[in-house]
Structure 1
Amino acid sequence: MKPKIFIDGEHGTTGLQIRALLAERGDLEIISIPAERRKETAARAEFLNAADIAILCLPDDAAKESVSLITNDTTKVIDASTAHRVAEGWAYGFAEMDRDQAKTIASAKRIANPGCWPQGPIATLRPLVTAGLRPADFPITVNGISGYSGGGRPMIEDYVAKGEDASEFLPYGLTLQHKHVPELRAYAKLSHDPIMQPAVGNFAQGMITVVPLQLGGLDHVPSGADLHAAIADHFAAIKGGVVEVAPYAHLERMPEIDPEVYNGTNRMKVYVFANDKRAQALLLAVYDNLGKGASGAAVQNMDLMLGT
């Protein structure tokens, strides 16, 4: 009997992407609420409880409501909203975060799918704490750029309507209250909030995150090679992971570092650059904000939960 998958919010940006990724999967049964019943709470409850796995692609409050509508102990949940990312009882759905995280996801009933912005910084920062190269109280700033699809339907429609007149580089989060800060702090093992300064570019999807490090104030200043080795060792130890670490190199620029290069995939590539004389480093991650940053991660987590 095929596992039943219900995407609650299947007509939103992430939901549509997940439907597309699952369209050719003959090993699954995708169940959907009939159009005429889509706004009925009773219909949502019926389909949530009929599913083996429910994937929630909803605003936070609606996601919380969906969880409350599940009355059985068999439906597993993957929540793509921010509602449960640091909530007790929910496993964080970044399978490469730790060596055993994939096993944790596979055995969990409640998975909080990661946000797109935190995954790159978590991928580069968490291994450094584990290796003893970065203290938890080290000040952290995150910069980067993402495609406009990360802003959901309103931003997509706005950018498409403006075309070439749309902003090429639009900083946001200028109140320093970005919604992803709590999960970034928790899973990058930070003892206080980082500064997040994201931007939107005039391209649909893909992203680059950048974490600059001023290392000179540390008691032991790691070299760029030290940082790279810690990150590379972390991901090399994860069987079946989709995060790749680029070779350590001293280059002024790399054309391959393109925010759109992994669009349509669940891959991520991490880079380490450093100037040891200045005791400075840059940690970069490139991935698809709708792939590894959203729908791709959800499907990866679903497969882990199904044991496929």
Structure 2
Amino acid sequence: MTAPKRLFIDGEAGTTGLQIRERLEGRADVTLASISAEDRKNPAAKAEIFKNVDLVVLCLPDDAAKESVALADSLGDKAPKILDASTAHRVAPGWTYGFAELCAGQADAIRAAKRVGNPGCYATGAIAMLRPLIDAGLLAADATYAINAVSGYSGGGKAMIAAYESGEAAPFELYALGLEHKHIPEIMAYSRLSARPLFAPSVGNFRQGMLVSLPLALDALPGKPDAAALEAALQKHYAGATYVRVMAPELGGKLEPQALNNTNDLEIRVYANETHRHAVVIAKLDNLGKGASGAAVQNLELMLGL
């Protein structure tokens, strides 16, 4: 029998870390190392754990994630593989992007990688729509697209979670209105956009779930495609994918964000009005699932051959 792989979640007390631990509980092929509360910021104690595990998952703020990577690098041949759930290394040289469905060969690249950046939640939804359509020539890489999104409040950190659960937060908020959201660099890099998108995120009074939408004027696109061509390109890209599915539009002209909660699934739908030559492509996912801990478990399985 093959020995279980040893993992350490650096920052396991946060939302993503807790959910990764929960998703791994009861598995015979994985054991989780832990560190005492007083040693969480002790480099020597962390180095000892790093030396004795196969993979470290970083669920830390960006600066702390960089410090942990530097610590791992100092261990030379004893360094573990690293999966970073922070923003710190998603577009960094030498790191592999952890969206296995990005393109042909991406899952194999993750399998072979020693350093993987786990995608952002909004970025996962946006890239899942944009990359196949750009690769198919249906969207121009140098055009400016608007991306709208709404997320459950669980992606906003402990202060936002506390504000919503105590009833103090607004029922709905647009935010990042300085138009400098931290997910934009990875959206551009992995969608192959050369023009910066207009990204407008928001948060609603529900814990988990996410909708990311891409409105399109069909006659402004290369070749002036119809909605069927958009859907066909998406279907082709995700043929055979386990976690990403292209679905028919739901009847009634409405779509809610929570149906995929506690899964690693992502669904894409194309809604259109051919009379007006307008369409909107929508990605639905769990911001804590395919948008965070679900993707992390998928990536560590690939990295460790589980």
What SS class does the counterpart of residue 121 from structure 1 fall into?
helix
Once the two structures are TM-superposed, the CA of residue 252 in structure 1 deviates from its matched residue by: 4.5
User: Is the CA contact 1:250–1:274 (under 8 Å) kept in the aligned structure 2?
Assistant: no
Q: Hey, what does 2:41 align to over in structure 1?
A: 39
Cross-structure match for 1:24:
26
Describe the superposition over 1:95-116 as per-residue Cα deviations: whole angstroms up to 9, x where unpaired: 1111211111111110000000
Q: What code does the residue aligned with 1:182 have?
A: P
Q: What TM-score, normalized to structure 2?
A: 0.95
- Contact 1:208/1:286 (8 A) holds in 2: yes
1:3-152 → structure 2 map (5 Å cutoff): 3-70=5-72, 71-73=75-77, 74-152=79-157
Shift in Å, 1:72: 2.9
Q: How does 1:1-308 map to 2 (within 5 A)?
A: 1-70=3-72, 71-73=75-77, 74-162=79-167, 166-238=169-241, 241-247=242-248, 249=249, 251-254=251-254, 257-308=255-306
Summarize the Cα distance change of 1:219–1:144 in structure 2 as closer, same or farther, 3 Å threshold.
closer
Letter in 1 for 2:300: M
Contact 1:48/1:66 (8 A) holds in 2: no
The one-letter code matched in structure 1 to 2:232 is A
| Matched AA of 2:76 | N
SS in 2 for 1:198: strand
RMSD over equivalenced CA pairs, Å = 1.4
1:71-97 Cα shifts (integer Å, max 9, x gaps) = 133510000000001011111001111
Alignment deviations for residues 197-231 of structure 1 (CA, whole Å, 9 cap, x no partner): 01100011111111111232335201000000000
Deviation of the 1:63 alpha carbon = 0.3
- The residue matched to 1:236 in structure 2 has which SS? coil
In structure 2, distance between residues paired with 1:132 and 1:88: 27
Distance in 2 separating the partners of 1:253 and 1:218: 23
Q: SS where residue 208 of structure 1 aligns? A: strand
Unaligned 5+ segments in structure 2 are: none
Give the superposition deviation at 1:302: 0.4
Q: Deviations over 1:141-162 (max 9, x none)?
A: 1112101011011111111111
Moved over 6 A (4+): none
Aligned residues, how many? 301
Contact 2:97 2:116 in 1 (8 A): yes
Partners of 1:10 and 1:72 in 2: how far apart?
24
Q: Is the Cα contact below 8 Å between 1:45 and 1:66 reproduced in 2?
A: no
Report how far residue 234 of structure 1 moved. Answer: 0.5
Q: Distance in 1 between matches of 2:190 and 2:258?
A: 25
**Post-superposition offset of 1:251:** 4.6
Work out the CA distance in 1 between the residues paired with 2:262 and 2:250.
29
Query: TM-score when scaled to structure 1?
Result: 0.94
Residues in 2 aligned to 1:58 and 1:19: alpha-carbon distance in whole angstroms: 15
Q: Percent identity?
A: 51
Q: Which runs of 5+ in 1 are unaligned?
A: none
Tell me by how many angstroms 1:276 deviates: 2.4
Assess if the C-alpha contact under 8 Å between 1:141 and 1:194 holds in 2. yes
